[in-house]
């Protein structure tokens, strides 16, 4: 009799669970047809939310702005359908404006044909763009399901109807997704992504990362292909705002010939500009570019255009048959199309190149060589030499006290050698940013101030060590305390300075692993330090017990010390290997940027 009751309870639980199954993450593909959430209750009758659009007519390929607004709501589901048959499948595809609160879904065979929420965070409104397909019905209506609370929701809230006119198609470039249908009338729209097939053979290419695919969202691509008296230029990269490249006589921004592809409200414009100093570029009113085309697909902005090699009528346009440093940057666009400063260091070629000369396929770096060297030397100094020197001085005096090198205990000679190496590496590294910047950097935050403090302490420490009292002098304890406190302060400040420096635009190691790796190094060092402290304490306690027993004191002490020394040497070997691993990881990351 108990089994049927158990089965009935399981059946009731399963039925209840299925009936109230919700979608807090917005993955509502099961509701593509009905648009009804499985919340175990009936929808409300009078909707509180409205759908608005920015136009009532469309042509295949057009983009329509769609907004859902009203009182705070948690979830939503938006589709476009044939207005004459609202039970038909979704029509067209959408493009997101805010990826934090909205996501694309595929209903049926049409990719990105619906939009839903990403979380239960309350929202006041949502804006997306609907892309009309080539086989769109004559009349399309937008529908929305809105969830205010779990049990309070509205289904298929009717929105405006947009219709196709009888007029012929426009030739204006349009925003599209990868599934949009193209027509031969859209002559200024790129029908497919760029490729690197001619790089190094028929065109001059710059790629970051090296040898990346221009169609990839992680690839920044710039190519120049000479065609008689003109140059065809292609530029591609992931950007929600603008992509730009500039021709420069040096590796500093200012007095440069710039070309920008600007994405404003999902329409791309291609313009020229002359960069004066470090001020934002002012786009030229007269454009010397021809055959302008563009494509905006899944967050990847691509544009191509042609310009003459020589433009004597445009004084601020450089001749393309000369050698220049080449910059490639991306950033955000503000209201009215204003160009904001690039949020990271531009990609800069390592040398000057003539793009109309021998075709090449080169890379670039977002970090100057001097800054790379600065970071690498600091990592070598403070992750390896300084850290190992501190461990040796703190725990290996009794281990190597009877071994001598050049008349001094070996622990002291190793400690001094490593610390002098740290001073030398830090001093060289300290000078490099000043050489690169030509002076003080006002845009590096607290990093240069802390760096100067570390440099001062690093120089003061060996100078103070040169005047240390003899081991039995009354002031030796005071010296030991100052020597330890200054060294510890320098190490702490050095780690903090490296934390800040890793995310500066000039170096900008990949997030967030750079922070996690540095935290891992700190934990590794502290862990080894604590382990050796505990071991030393246990060893002292063991020796004290042996002395109290007064039995075989000499033999037992020798045995205890031997065991302790072996353990410390094993720990030191593992510690050095671990530090080298951390160092290799950081140096490899610096080499990749």
pLDDT in the model for residue 14: 43
* pTM for the structure as a whole: 0.56
188-365 and 369-592 agree in CATH topology: no
Residues 6+ apart with CB under 8 A from 149: 74
Q: What is the rounded CA–CA span in Å between residue 248 and residue 432?
A: 23
Cα–chain center distance at 368: 18
Please classify residue 576 by burial: count the beta carbons closer than 10 Å to its beta carbon, then call 0-12 exposed, 13-18 middle and 19+ buried. middle
Q: Which string of b and e fits 92-107 if b means at least 16 CB within 10 Å? A: bbbbbbeeebbbbbeb
Q: Which helix (H) or strand (E) holds 238?
A: strand 230-238
Q: Determine the pLDDT at residue 421.
A: 95
Q: For residue 546, what pLDDT is reported?
A: 53
Q: Which class is 188-365 in CATH? A: mainly beta
CATH architecture of 29-163: Sandwich (2.60)
What's the confidence (pLDDT) of residue 552?
A: 46
The whole-angstrom distance between residue 406's C-alpha and the CA centroid of its chain comes to 51
pLDDT value at position 575?
92
pLDDT for 34: 85
Angle among Cα 396, 411, 423 to the nearest 5 degrees reads 110
Q: Are 327 and 246 in contact, with CB atoms under 8 Å apart?
A: yes
Return the CATH fold of 369-592: 1.20.120
Question: Residue ranges per domain, the chain?
Answer: 29-163, 188-365, 369-592
- Beta strands 361-362 and 204-208 are parallel
The pLDDT, as a whole number, for residue 526 is 92
Predicted pLDDT at 593? 64
The segments of the chain whose pLDDT lies below 70 read 1-27, 29, 40, 166-189, 191, 265, 285, 336-337, 401, 508, 542-564, 592-593
**Can you give the length of the chain in residues?**
593
Cβ neighbours, 10 Å, residue 550 = 7
Check residue 188 and give its pLDDT. 54
What is the tens place of the pLDDT at every residue in 344-389?
778 888 889 999 999 999 987 777 788 889 999 999 999 999 999 9
pLDDT of residue 52: 93
* Residue 72 phi, psi dihedral angles, 5° rounding: -50, 135
């Amino acid at each position: 009799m108990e089994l049927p009751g158990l089965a009935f309870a399981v059946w009731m639980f399963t039925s209840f669970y299925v009936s109230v199954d919700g979608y807090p993450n917005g993955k509502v593909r099961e509701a593509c047809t009905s648009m009804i959430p499985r919340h175990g209750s009936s929808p409300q009758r009078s909707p509180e939310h409205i759908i608005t659009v920015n136009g009532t007519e469309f042509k295949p390929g057009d983009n329509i702005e769609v907004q859902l607004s009203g009182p705070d709501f948690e979830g939503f589901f938006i589709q476009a359908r044939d207005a004459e048959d609202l039970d038909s499948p979704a029509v067209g595809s959408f493009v997101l404006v805010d990826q934090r609160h909205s996501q694309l879904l595929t209903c049926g065979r049409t990719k990105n044909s619906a939009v839903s929420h990403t979380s239960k965070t309350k929202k006041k409104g949502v804006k997306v763009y609907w892309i009309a397909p080539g086989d769109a019905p004559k009349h399309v209506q937008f529908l929305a399901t809105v969830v205010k609370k779990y049990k309070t929701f509205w289904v298929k809230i009717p929105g405006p109807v947009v219709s196709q006119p009888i007029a012929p198609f426009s030739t204006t470039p349009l925003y599209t997704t990868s599934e949009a249908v193209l027509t031969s009338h859209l002559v200024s729209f790129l029908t497919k992504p760029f490729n690197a097939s001619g790089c190094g053979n028929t065109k001059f290419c710059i790629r970051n990362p090296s040898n990346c695919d221009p169609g990839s969202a992680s690839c920044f691509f710039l190519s120049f292909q000479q065609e008689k008296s003109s140059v065809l230029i292609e530029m591609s990269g992931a950007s929600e705002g603008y992509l730009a490249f500039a021709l420069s006589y040096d590796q500093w921004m200012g007095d440069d010939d710039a070309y920008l592809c600007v994405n404003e409200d999902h329409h791309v414009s291609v313009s020229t500009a002359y960069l004066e100093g470090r001020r934002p570029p002012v786009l030229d009113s007269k454009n010397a570019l021809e055959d302008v085309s563009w494509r905006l697909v899944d967050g990847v902005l691509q544009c191509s255009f042609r310009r003459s090699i020589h433009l004597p009528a445009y004084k601020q346009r450089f001749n393309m048959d000369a050698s220049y440093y080449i910059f490639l940057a991306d950033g955000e666009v503000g209201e009215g199309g204003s160009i904001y400063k690039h949020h990271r260091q531009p990609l800069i070629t390592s040398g000057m190149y003539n793009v109309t000369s021998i075709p090449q396929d080169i890379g670039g770096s977002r970090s100057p060589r001097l800054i790379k060297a600065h970071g690498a030397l600091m990592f070598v100094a403070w992750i390896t030499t300084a850290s190992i020197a501190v461990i040796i001085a703190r725990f290996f005096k009794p281990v190597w006290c009877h071994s001598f090198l050049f008349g001094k205990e070996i622990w002291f000679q190793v400690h001094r050698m490593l610390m002098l190496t740290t001073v030398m590496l830090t001093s060289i590294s300290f000078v490099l940013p000043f050489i690169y910047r030509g002076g003080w950097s006002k845009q590096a935050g607290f990093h240069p101030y802390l760096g100067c403090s570390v440099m001062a302490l690093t120089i003061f420490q060996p100078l103070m060590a040169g005047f240390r009292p003899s081991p039995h002098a009354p002031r030796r304890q005071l010296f030991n305390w100052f020597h330890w406190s200054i060294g510890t302060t320098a190490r702490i400040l050095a780690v903090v300075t490296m934390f800040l420096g890793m995310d500066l635009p000039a170096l900008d190691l990949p997030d967030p692993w750079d922070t996690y790796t540095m935290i891992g190094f700190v934990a590794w060092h502290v862990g080894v330090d604590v382990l050796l402290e505990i071991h030393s304490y246990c060893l002292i306690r063991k020796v004290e017990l042996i002395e109290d027993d007064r039995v075989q004191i000499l033999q037992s002490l020798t045995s205890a010390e031997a065991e302790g020394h072996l353990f410390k040497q094993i720990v030191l070997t593992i510690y050095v290997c671990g530090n080298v691993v951390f160092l290799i990881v950081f140096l490899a990351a610096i080499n990749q940027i």
